[in-house]
A and B are shown apart, each in its own frame.
Chain A
Amino acid sequence: MFRPLPDSSEGPTVTVFVEGQPVEAYVGETAASVLLRHLGTARTTSISESPRAPFCMMGCCFDCLAEIDGKGSTQSCLEPVRDGMTIARQMSARKVVAR
């Protein structure tokens, strides 16, 4: 859905893990942006389980809720990438309690 500008690829990068896979991310972009580039979605809804992707990228739609560094329901558009960050989609209703 999105590709980097030619001079972005020369900028600084970090490695993040998208659902376990190491991925290069541009310093300055957010976890939501990484999700859009690599998976195209951030979550499925807790009611109809339909796929959703980041929509507003500025913290007011909550469609980018994802699991960032193990924390569920995190607004991924408000999380700048950090080296080693783990990013995963949030599928359906959250399970807060580990069995």
Chain B
Amino acid sequence: MAQPDHIVIGAGTVGVSLAYGLQKRGQSVCVVDGGASDFRAARANFGLVWVQGKGGNLPAYARWTAESAALWPRFRDALEQCSGIGLDYQKPGGLVFSLSEQALIDRRAVLEEIGGGALPEGVEMLDRDALQARLPDAPLGPEVAGASYGASDGHVNPLKLLAALQQGFLELGGEILWDWPVQTLRTTDDGYELTGPDGETLRAPNVIVAAGLATPGIVAPLGVDLPLRPQRGQLLVTERMAPMLPMPCSGLRQTADGTVMIGTTHEDVGLDTGTTQASGTMVAERALRILPALSGARIVRQWSGLRVLSPDGGPLYTQPEAYPGLWTVSCHSGVTLAAIHAERLAEQILAGALTGDTRHFSKDRFHVPTLA
């Protein structure tokens, strides 16, 4: 194989979004993927393309998210055409429920703070009656006081997104090496060299590490210290049902297939992807407080995934000063940001530097001492 311009480590949603974006810009890209037992957040995702409420502590993240959501429809069109795979993407707006009058007031306050004193554009507060009117097939539980509605929110089938990104990237001439877990990453005279299984090596002038929770371990030997931690989320999904939820909600969404996804927990349990009855019961109880009629729906699967979190929850994009051409890209919201990763971030990586809002996403914001 001829030496590619870029190697991307990780064929998950984040890695392949970038690979797809770079390949589209005329670069030659090779993606290497890990083993079957890797954590694979991309296969555990809830499927929201979500804007409202994000970036309270990091305004650049709010803008970056909103821009990506705005790019999504065009990104979808191009990706579906290129891959031949439908994404089930819809942008009907999204809801965050409040289970008491006080919670509704608090919710408004949080959103107004993000909006700089007023509700952000496209966001409105719905009282119980207005909310029920938007969900005619889903009688609300007695505690539901209302919800915030964000017009920019939407949802997608995250598994189809991943498959389409991989297929689209391949259609554009990219290459994916499956089952190629990276053993070592080292510098060479003109770039980087990766060692994979059986001592096989790959070289390229540019390397993007988008390996989720495995990212810190890959760059640590170079003295690059990344502050990422896992957080477990457990989800339930029901059998297919007739349409009842016309728009995604935080913690509750009906997919195009008719299944209802119910989420999710936030657990600090390290690298444990197990599921527990206790968490299943907790999310089921919450879902029933919102929609009691879900009581009879059969759960067909419970699973968990590990979120890839930085200390402030925002994205972490870094090109260490001592290693030009070496990037690490990790974030918790790989689905929402897929569009902007394939466009703006791919452009900036090609240009060799982060510009604009993305400058706020470097690891320097955490003041972690590095050897680099």
Contact = CB atoms under 8 A, between A and B. Distances in A.
Interface of A: 46-47, 71-73, 92-99
B284 interface: no
Contacts of B294: 96
Contacts of B298: 73
Contacts, number: 36
Interface stretch (B120-128, B168-176, B238-246): B238-246
Nearest to A70: B296
Given A71-B296, A72-B296, A73-B298, A94 B137 contact: no
B258 A93 contact: yes
Contacts of B139: 97
Given A46-B258, A72-B296, A96 B240 contact: no
Contact of B239 (A73, A92, A97): A73
B133 interface: no
26 contacts: A46-B258, A47-B240, A71-B296, A72-B296, A73-B239, A73-B298, A93-B240, A93-B242, A93-B258, A94-B239, A94-B241, A94-B297, A95-B241, A95-B242, A95-B244, A96-B241, A96-B244, A96-B293, A96-B294, A96-B297, A97-B137, A97-B138, A97-B244, A97-B291, A98-B293, A99-B137
A52 B242 CA distance: 19
Nearest to A97: B293
Contacts of B241: 93-96
Contacts of B242: 92-96
Interface string B288-322: 00010110111000000000000000000000000
A71 B138 CA distance: 19
A47 B241 CA distance: 10
A-B pairs with the 7 shortest C-beta distances? A97-B293, A46-B240, A95-B242, A93-B242, A73-B298, A96-B297, A94-B241
Contacts of A95: 241-242, 244
A46 B258 CA distance: 9
A93 B242 CA distance: 5
Interface string B231-256: 00000000111101000000000000
Nearest to B297: A96
Contacts of A93: 240-242, 258
Nearest to A95: B242
Contacts of B138: 97
Interface string B92-104: 0000000000000
A51 to B, nearest CB: 17
Contacts of B137: 97, 99
Interface in B298-350: 298
Nearest to B296: A96
A95 B238 CA distance: 12
Nearest to A45: B240
B132 to A, nearest CB: 13
Nearest to A98: B293
Interface in B255-307: 258, 291, 293-294, 296-298
A72 to B, nearest CB: 6
Nearest to B138: A97
A23 B296 CA distance: 27
Contacts of A92: 242
A95 B241 CA distance: 6
Nearest to B292: A97
Contacts of B293: 96-98
A53 to B, nearest CB: 19
A71 B294 CA distance: 12
Nearest to A74: B298
